[in-house]
Structure 1
Amino acid sequence: MTQLAVLPLLEVVRGHAADPDLPHLLERDPHERTWTRVLATGAYELWLISWPPGAATDWHDHGSSSGAFTVLEGRLTEHTFDGGLQLVDLSVGDGKAFGAGYAHDVRNETDRPALSLHAYSPRLSSMTRFRFRGDRLEALGVERAGEEW
């Protein structure tokens, strides 16, 4: 299995984001975050995620997978921690790429729905969940593909 480097992965997600049919591939719930895998290749997979107002992922990483995402509709805020809490607002067309083991909490802090496209390489096999303690992230457990999602 091939793993794409972080920046080419952002190019992949942005290239697929141009597909006008993409927003119609997911049935959106007005109250819960929903997602579907829209493509899986030997090198990467793509996930479409809808974000109703107030939705959040909670703190997590993507195990041994690198990732990238771009906002298709609305606005998202990414929370990261690197010795201090960092907030990055992302709107339509904005994207972010990250390496394996990168922990974040992505949220829709607006009163309007959002939609984003995410790519992971290699395919997601695990995610570690964390609790933010103000001065550190504390690991809570590991979720495995096929079991928790």
Structure 2
Amino acid sequence: MNTLESLMNRLERLQSPTVSELQGILRQVRLSPGDIECFVAQPENGRSYGRQVIFRNAELEAIVIHLPALSQTSIHDHGESIGCALVVEGKLTNQLYTTAGYGMVHPAGSYEVTSGSCMLAPYGQIHEMLNRTDERMISLHVYAPPLAGMKQYVPESSAVLDYVI
């Protein structure tokens, strides 16, 4: 059994996992880029990143994310899900946001996540992932329950105010 199969077997046994449980499992995995290369998808459907679901059951799903060089995701939440991501190759910046009203958000801090490190996604987190490097970034994300009801947000700095005189 290879590393990825072993991980999927462990995930399959989880029931209503917490963020800490997901992180614990991902930290124990020694995934290499070669282990998931066949799941690395190119951007499509108007996205600036590639995504490929590699496991899904009623409790959770696992997704491989590919952020090409100098790209980013939209600002989003994870609906009713919690999650954890393991960066397998490259480096990303996790930009966090807080709500500013009217569906807009403003920055609330950021941090870098390097290869071999995990990024947590607790319930209600709003964020975007940025690859500010000249190399691709590949990560494995696990969400519980499977993603549904995600929302995208507009940064407050992009808002255009119309005044009626």
TM-score normalised according to structure 2 size: 0.71
CA distance change for structure 1 residues 35 and 17 in 2, over 3 Å: closer, same or farther? farther
Cα shift readout 1:44-81 (whole Å, capped 9, x = no counterpart): 11000111112211210000000110110011000003
Residue of structure 2 aligned with 1:9, choices 18, 22, 43: 22
Residue of structure 2 aligned with 1:74, choices 81, 87, 90: 90
More helix by share: 2
The AA in structure 2 aligned to 1:40 is R
Kept after mapping to 2: 8 A contact 1:79/1:105: yes
Q: How many residues align?
A: 133
**How far did residue 124 of structure 1 move?**
0.6
CA distance change for structure 1 residues 36 and 107 in 2, over 3 Å: closer, same or farther? same
Aligned to 2:74: 58
CA distance change for structure 1 residues 128 and 65 in 2, over 3 Å: closer, same or farther? same
More strand by share: 1
Cα shift readout 1:93-127 (whole Å, capped 9, x = no counterpart): 11122222210011101111110110100011121
Residue of structure 2 aligned with 1:40, choices 46, 52, 56: 56
**In structure 2, how many angstroms separate the alpha carbons of the residues matched to 1:16 and 1:35?**
20
**How far did residue 36 of structure 1 move?**
0.4
**Identity of matched residues, %:** 24
Unaligned runs of 5+ in 1: 135-149
Once the two structures are superposed, the pairs formed by residues 1-149 of structure 1 within 5 Å of their partners are 2-15=15-28, 18=31, 20-28=34-42, 32-82=48-98, 85-134=108-157
TM-score normalised according to structure 1 size: 0.78
Kept after mapping to 2: 8 A contact 1:10/1:68: yes
**In structure 2, how many angstroms separate the alpha carbons of the residues matched to 1:108 and 1:67?**
19
Greater Rg, structure 1 or structure 2? Answer: 2
**How far did residue 32 of structure 1 move?**
4.2
